[in-house]
Chains A and B, each alone.
Chain A
């Protein structure tokens, strides 16, 4: 394990964030009880968190990899080589000016102009294990909205935090939620008081900057009765020679009548293993909506879920996945109906390019004696090249009468006639292809907030470059 002294003499000015060597806190490579205790010590965890982490570690070590159904590629992750905690040892910045240039530049490359960013109600940026920037607009803060990092959340607001933390996604939910429970760091904690409608989205931005590093942020959002909030997250990482692991846990709690919208644009480098557990709990009349776009990573396994626990609760997942050469987007949705008159909707669109593989994996569960539950699932896959691959694996359980569930999926390709038509009118083949793909996702993208639909279209265009011919 590296010691703290190895990097203690560095200049802590903002530019140093570029270099992994700038990390003052480094848990070293490999995972053991010592690693977990190190993280607890650095973060000055209260006792219950220390215990929680150790239980997470035990569960992680006990559970096998889910390779009986999931990709064998998971075996390529070398848990002994990963570094589980890296931090510059500084507090999160409160002013945008202090944020390093490279992060700003990345924002710009993603196509989000400075102006649009100004509309955000709050931003948090995470660099490896810890938040480097966290800010919430004064007006929103005055309404009682809490938007801080998870560490700050558990320390400053234990009475709300502890009540829900680990309740929507228990430690033992799966191997990677257990891993996250052991070594989590960073992520956001949001609390929206009753009746408060946060007009502009809150945003978090995650970046992995160090080689062999695992990022394990933990986000908890609680929307109290009748409140509304939109949260957006983006993520990127430079491409290193060795694989990187990102394994987050996101828990959403929408109390009576509340609405949470959670938007992700995932654009990790193509050697990141992105294994994320996301689940929302919707009480009576509440709504949880996941908008999930997966463009990057080597292997993504992510199935945003909604447990509809109260009457008339609603759950929705809108998902777009783009799998290029060397990528496997294994995404989907889970809808657990646990009360009468609950409704859920899943719309998933995937595009496979080159040797890319896109998988939809879904679960819809309507248990006994529920009345008037409805689910609609639509999955459409588009194949661009002869070597592209797509799979669909839904599992639907319905018990009893009085419920309606329907699932539909289709696979198609860009028609040669369409391409010919556009080429005839002077578009290049690549432009024509890009236009067709945008047409394929357009009806879904239109439902996204404007900034994100612009960003997404740009990303798709970038990915489509050089995919034909």
Chain B
């Protein structure tokens, strides 16, 4: 690391000291941030006795070491931009380093003319205040991390605002990078995505660290809103450094006849908690929740989900797959909730764990709460290992054990990625998975 960066780090304050006045925000937003900080301080720390934190290694959530990131040097900025390689073709791109927007590839004039808004959060709260206030963190965090959602709200300083108006379909994906830079640095990424009637969009977020050994902290919140008949695809490629503690709280609201699909790929971090709340509020809505995790070394991936069927005639389908090696741990705590009167719900939930070592540990808590009838709900959880027959078949064809294992794990995970039905993104995710195997 350069000496300039070290100097900057010395200046940066611990995040627990006080929310720094990092940006010139409107007063109403400042007030919200102050209230959120108080809420953060007043809420108790999670313990394993909380059902929402059962099996979680809550001791890893010590936030004392983490600081606000310093400013970037010119050479760091160049290096980060150079390394921000994702998809080949995108409709728009934003790159954040230490919560600072360092590059924005604007969307085409054509999309702009049709009313698509793609800008930073801080600009949107001024220029599109009404839309922003209506949707920004408007859903309560109910999967356990309310304390950390409050922390996020108190300290968020930038992020992405994307609005797709009625009937507009954006063919190419929108791409967002978030970089953690520096020892014990922290980021608070935010994506506010609002689609109007019959709009269509795909967004992919890349979470990465500049230094692959630096400890750090990420605490993100995403508000994803699928308007009536809209089609929203969200992909998260989480690849923080292996010393990072990360929390991500995503809420998807699915209106009538809309469909939302999310896929979270978990590769990096020491501890990563990912909360996905999918609220089906209109008839004919559909939500697909997908996740793939490759956990190695001491990594712990803690996924909590809620498929909340509020309206009748809605469907949801969850498929989470974990491959675990070394001493890794995974936790899946998922719930399908069918609210009273949400009749004719069709909900699925499946988690599959593939254990590759004797020290790996997979915890599954697939849950159902059904308060209506005329529903079709099933869930399943399996934990097992690579089948000997399959291994034997590959070995007998001269494929070395290591390679055979990778092939079988790749095949196991591929079922999830194929569900995206997007070859460019699938190819990119597979490349990341192969890189992780090679580590």
A68 to B361, CA, bound (A): 25
Say yes or no: is A117 at the interface (Cβ < 8 Å to chain B): no
Residue of A nearest to B361 (CB): A399
Pairwise interchain contact B381-A410, C-beta atoms closer than 8 A = no
**A-contact bits for B352-391, CB 8 A (1 contact / 0 none):** 0101111111111111111111111111111111100000
Say yes or no: is A261 at the interface (Cβ < 8 Å to chain B): no
Give chain B residues whose Cβ lies under 8 Å from the Cβ of A408: 378-380
Give chain B residues whose Cβ lies under 8 Å from the Cβ of A381: 368, 370
Say yes or no: is A453 at the interface (Cβ < 8 Å to chain B): no
Pairwise interchain contact A368-B363, C-beta atoms closer than 8 A = no
**B-contact bits for A378-407, CB 8 A (1 contact / 0 none):** 000101111111111111111111111111
- The smallest beta-carbon distance between A313 and chain B, in angstroms, is 20
Say yes or no: is B188 at the interface (Cβ < 8 Å to chain A): no
Pairwise interchain contact A411-B380, C-beta atoms closer than 8 A = no
Say yes or no: is A409 at the interface (Cβ < 8 Å to chain B): yes
Pairwise interchain contact B363-A386, C-beta atoms closer than 8 A = no
Number of interface residues of B (CB under 8 A): 40
Pairwise interchain contact A404-B383, C-beta atoms closer than 8 A = yes
- The smallest beta-carbon distance between B361 and chain A, in angstroms, is 4
Most chain A beta carbons < 10 A, residue from B355, B368, B382: B368
Give chain B residues whose Cβ lies under 8 Å from the Cβ of A412: 375-376
Pairwise interchain contact A392-B379, C-beta atoms closer than 8 A = yes
Pairwise interchain contact A385-B378, C-beta atoms closer than 8 A = no
Say yes or no: is A69 at the interface (Cβ < 8 Å to chain B): yes
Residue of A nearest to B341 (CB): A386
Pairwise interchain contact A396-B378, C-beta atoms closer than 8 A = no
Pairwise interchain contact A407-B362, C-beta atoms closer than 8 A = no
Chain A interface residue number, banded: 35 or more
Residue of A nearest to B363 (CB): A397
Known contacts A368-B359, A407-B364; A396 and B370 CB within 8 A of each other: no
Say yes or no: is B234 at the interface (Cβ < 8 Å to chain A): no
Give chain B residues whose Cβ lies under 8 Å from the Cβ of A388: 373
Give chain B residues whose Cβ lies under 8 Å from the Cβ of A368: 358-359, 361
Give chain B residues whose Cβ lies under 8 Å from the Cβ of A174: none
Say yes or no: is B55 at the interface (Cβ < 8 Å to chain A): yes
Say yes or no: is B266 at the interface (Cβ < 8 Å to chain A): no
Pairwise interchain contact A405-B383, C-beta atoms closer than 8 A = yes
Instruction: Give residues 402-450 of A contacting B (CB, 8 Å).
Output: 402-413
Pairwise interchain contact B378-A410, C-beta atoms closer than 8 A = yes
Pairwise interchain contact A401-B357, C-beta atoms closer than 8 A = yes
Give chain B residues whose Cβ lies under 8 Å from the Cβ of A409: 366, 368, 378-380
Give chain B residues whose Cβ lies under 8 Å from the Cβ of A398: 353, 355, 361-363, 383
A40 to B161, CA, bound (A): 71
Pairwise interchain contact A393-B370, C-beta atoms closer than 8 A = no
Say yes or no: is B51 at the interface (Cβ < 8 Å to chain A): yes
Pairwise interchain contact A68-B382, C-beta atoms closer than 8 A = no
Known contacts A403-B384, A405-B384; A394 and B365 CB within 8 A of each other: yes
Known contacts A402-B385, A404-B384; A396 and B51 CB within 8 A of each other: no
Say yes or no: is B273 at the interface (Cβ < 8 Å to chain A): no
Say yes or no: is B49 at the interface (Cβ < 8 Å to chain A): yes
Say yes or no: is A2 at the interface (Cβ < 8 Å to chain B): no
Known contacts A398-B353, A403-B383, A405-B384; A383 and B373 CB within 8 A of each other: yes
Give chain A residues whose Cβ lies under 8 Å from the Cβ of B395: none
Give chain A residues whose Cβ lies under 8 Å from the Cβ of B378: 408-411
Say yes or no: is B54 at the interface (Cβ < 8 Å to chain A): yes
Say yes or no: is B50 at the interface (Cβ < 8 Å to chain A): yes
- The smallest beta-carbon distance between A375 and chain B, in angstroms, is 9
Pairwise interchain contact A389-B371, C-beta atoms closer than 8 A = yes
Pairwise interchain contact A397-B55, C-beta atoms closer than 8 A = yes
A405 to B362, CA, bound (A): 11
Known contacts A394-B364, A400-B357, A405-B383; A386 and B51 CB within 8 A of each other: no
Known contacts A390-B370, A407-B366; A395 and B54 CB within 8 A of each other: yes
Pairwise interchain contact B370-A400, C-beta atoms closer than 8 A = no
- The smallest beta-carbon distance between A403 and chain B, in angstroms, is 7
Residue of B nearest to A363 (CB): B365
Cβ-neighbour of A399 out of B49, B343, B356, B360 (below 8 A): B360
Cβ-neighbour of B365 out of A68, A391, A395, A406 (below 8 A): A395
Q: 12 more A-B contacts (CB under 8 A) besides A385-B373, A391-B368, A397-B55? A: A368-B358, A391-B367, A392-B367, A395-B365, A396-B364, A400-B357, A401-B355, A401-B358, A401-B360, A402-B358, A406-B384, A413-B375
Residue contacts A-B, CB under 8 angstroms, 25 given: A69-B51, A385-B373, A389-B369, A390-B369, A392-B367, A392-B379, A393-B367, A395-B364, A396-B364, A396-B383, A397-B55, A397-B362, A398-B355, A399-B361, A400-B358, A400-B360, A405-B384, A406-B381, A407-B380, A408-B378, A408-B380, A409-B366, A411-B368, A411-B378, A412-B376
* Chain A interface (Cβ < 8 Å from any Cβ of B): 68-69, 366, 368-369, 381, 383-413
Report the 10 A-B pairs with minimum CB-CB distance, sorted nearest first: A398-B383, A392-B368, A400-B358, A401-B385, A411-B377, A407-B381, A410-B378, A383-B373, A396-B364, A399-B361
